[in-house]
Amino acid sequence: MSIHPSIQEALKQLPIKLPDTLNEEIIKEIREMQQIPLPVEIKPPIYQWEDRVIPGPNGEIPVRIYTPKAQSEKYKGIVAYHGGGWTIGSLESHDGAFRLLANKTGAKVISVDYRLAPEYPFPAGLEDCYAALKWVFHHAEELQIDEEKIAVAGDSAGGNISASLTLMARDKKGPNIWKQVLIYPATDALRSIQDSPYESIRENKDAPILTASVTKSFWDHYLSCEEDANNPYCSPIRAENLRNLPPAFIVTAQYDPIRDEGEEYGKRLLNDGVPTKIRRVEGTVHGFITMPIPLSEEVMEDIAQFINDEQ
């Protein structure tokens, strides 16, 4: 199957094509573009949203809280982390996707604007994300969220962060994450394209949006030293074991350099007894979940089914 026509059309609308290597000038340019709000006509309507700042380990952390509808009972909660290779991405870049996530799931979604590399390499952004997760749990009553039904979710680098947080929360004895949604997650630090055990990094090395070279560049910015690559909070798949983690739904894209590591992570979860669903979306590329296309809505409906499944 070739790339889906709707994605081909969406790719034509992208304002910038990533070069093979991301330098600070390109990163700055992309960040500035990503601060521009989505056009109203493609922004999913939402009942209510609110920007706040919460305390973090090194200053305030901006968050955006999406409420899908008015209700008297408590909401499920999803703490959501944007993708962007740990170097780009913002509250605005994922505004459409996280509005849709809230609308489809009926959950209150809290989007986190964590610190970015290369200015703040691993583990700075992850520490922000863990602080935000704890803040949501500590303020569950104020947020009208059921503290026993708080999930984490993210795409790409955000999927990496979400997976890492489940390990961190398990190891630190809390907070108790209910479920995890990992959308084309990065799970294994890439140090060499040729030596990678995942064939998709070579098979899709020239894929749209995310190439193998850009993947390597993102990791180079995120890692502060070689030892970080083996840290399970950086490379979740390298954890000694994945037991006692929350049920997972993993979404991968057919034409994605990091497809195989996401699917392999899912298999490892299953082998360690974690209820896990893996869905490879045919005809798609890395980043498709932020595209305003019916295919993204279809996947969000699958995520909603996972979130709202009481089993």
Give catalytic residue positions: 156, 256, 286
Residue 258: closest CA among 192, 211, 220: 211
DSSP reduced 3-state for 10: helix
Could you give the CA distance from residue 186 to residue 218 in angstroms, rounded to a whole number?
Answer: 11
Q: Return the residue matching tokens 């498709």.
A: 288
Residue 166: closest CA among 156, 157, 176: 176
Task: List strands edge to edge, sheet with 248-255.
Answer: 48-56, 59-67, 108-112, 75-81, 145-155, 180-183, 248-255, 276-285
Q: Which two tokens stand for residue 249?
A: 């739904």
Question: Facing residues of 253 across strands?
Answer: 281
Contact by Cβ (8 Å): 65, 49: yes
- 58 burial type by CB count under 10 A (0-12 exposed, 13-18 middle, 19+ buried): exposed
Could you give the CA distance from residue 120 to residue 243 in angstroms, rounded to a whole number?
Answer: 30
Contact by Cβ (8 Å): 292, 42: yes
Helices marked H in the chain — which ranges? 5-12, 24-34, 95-105, 124-138, 140-143, 157-171, 200-203, 212-222, 259-271, 294-308
